[in-house]
Each structure stands twice: as C-alpha cells, then as structure tokens.
C-alpha cells in the first residue's frame, strides 16, 4: 500500500486538536486517533462509506461523510475525498446511470427527461422518476462501497503477504551469511 505516500498528505493530528473552529463544532470527537490513522479497518471502512455516500443524491454528502467517519471511527480524509467522485462534472452521467439501473431493477421503461434546475422541474419530472432513481442510487452505492472495501482489504492483504515473504527471504539470507561466516572462521 502507498501508506507512506498517503501519510505525507494527511493533516497533523496535533494541528487538528488545536484548531479552534473545529473544536467548537466537534469538540473532543476529533481526538479519535483512527480518524487520521491508516490501518486496514479504518481505510476499508472509509472506502465503503465514502463510495456509498458518493451516490447519495444530497448536497450534504461531505457532512454525512464526516459524521459517519466520526461515528464509525474510520479515516475521515479518505471518506470525504471519495465523496467527491460525484462532483459537478460527473454528477449528471453518474446519476443517469443510477436511474437506468433503477429502471432495470423495477422493470420500467426509461422516460425521456429534460433536466432543468427549477422548482417546477422538481415537482413534475423528479416525482415521476424518484423511485427508480433512488433505488438505483442505493444499489450502485452499495455495490461500489462493498467492491471498494473488499478491494482495499485484498490489496492490503497482498501487500502484507509480500512484506512477510520479503522479510523471510532477508532473514534466510542473513542466516546463510551467518553460517558461512562461522564456517570461514573455523
């Protein structure tokens, strides 16, 4: 895992504890070490929550991500960063895909929708498509979250196995050198 690379960009825990505004809002909740720690549980949980919340069609995704990170004691920067998969540039295609998934699951035909950012559009068009849209968002978000979490756990495990194998090889080489040097001394 690129743990050392990611740690370079993580905020300092002492800096966050001493930040006046954050302490007023969150109090001692930000003092939890796992909010900035990089371990398998914290990072895989952050991937699950961040990817799931990326597909929640609400404008408060970052607040939800921060709240769930604090509640579940998972890595907060990764959770919040993954929410930005759905940004203003990607939101349209991603949510249209979610709508298509929802219509496929509910076995409904796709409706021809012309998007407008207005209250009238929300009252007419969104009311007609809300069920397949929200179901699609839930299914795609859950799938992405599970897939991301499992992938991180597998990659972390593979990295750990490689590290253990390399350590065993180094130990074997060191023992060989030790035995050879003792034979040479005799």
Whole-angstrom Cα distance, residue 32 to residue 148? 24
47 touches 129 (CB < 8 A): no
Segment 71-121, tens digit of pLDDT: 898 988 899 899 999 988 888 889 889 999 999 999 998 887 776 667 777
The pLDDT score that the predictor gives to residue 52 is 97
pLDDT band at 22 (very low <50, low <70, confident <90, very high): low
Residue 183: predicted pLDDT: 60
The position carrying tokens 């599970």 is 146
Q: Rounded mean pLDDT of the chain?
A: 83
pLDDT value of residue 129: 85
Note the pLDDT tens digit of each residue in 131-141: 999 999 999 99
Q: So where are the chain's domains?
A: 3-185
* DSSP state at residue 124: I
- What CA–CA distance (Å, rounded) separates 80 from 85? 10
Average pLDDT over residues 42-60: 93
Of 46, 48, 52, nearest in space to 69 by CA: 46
**The token pair that represents 8 in the structure block:** 């370079």
Nearest-angstrom CA–CA distance, 163 and 132: 46
Cα(175)–Cα(30) distance, integer angstroms: 46
Nearest to 65 by CA among 141, 136, 132: 141
DSSP state of 29: G
Quick one: CA dihedral 69, 73, 76, 81, positive or negative?
A: negative
pTM of structure: 0.79
Give the model confidence (pLDDT) of 141-173 as tens digits: 999 999 999 999 999 999 889 989 989 888 888
């Amino acid at each position: 895992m690129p743990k050392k690379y990611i740690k370079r960009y993580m905020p300092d825990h002492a800096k966050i504890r001493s930040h006046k505004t954050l302490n007023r809002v969150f109090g001692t909740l930000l003092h939890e070490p796992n909010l900035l720690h990089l371990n398998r549980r914290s990072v895989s949980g952050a991937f699950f929550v961040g990817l799931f919340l990326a597909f929640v069609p609400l404008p408060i995704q970052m607040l939800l991500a921060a709240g769930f990170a604090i509640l579940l004691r998972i890595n907060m920067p990764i959770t919040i960063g993954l929410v930005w998969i759905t940004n203003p540039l990607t939101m349209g295609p991603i949510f249209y895909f979610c709508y298509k998934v929802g219509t496929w699951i509910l076995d409904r035909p796709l409706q021809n929708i012309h998007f407008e950012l207005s209250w009238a559009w929300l009252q007419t068009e969104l009311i007609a498509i809300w069920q397949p849209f929200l179901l699609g968002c839930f299914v795609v978000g859950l799938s992405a979250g599970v897939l991301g979490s499992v992938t991180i756990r597998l990659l972390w495990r593979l990295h750990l196995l490689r590290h253990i194998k390399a350590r065993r090889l180094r130990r074997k080489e060191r023992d060989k050198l030790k035995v050879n040097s003792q034979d040479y001394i005799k």
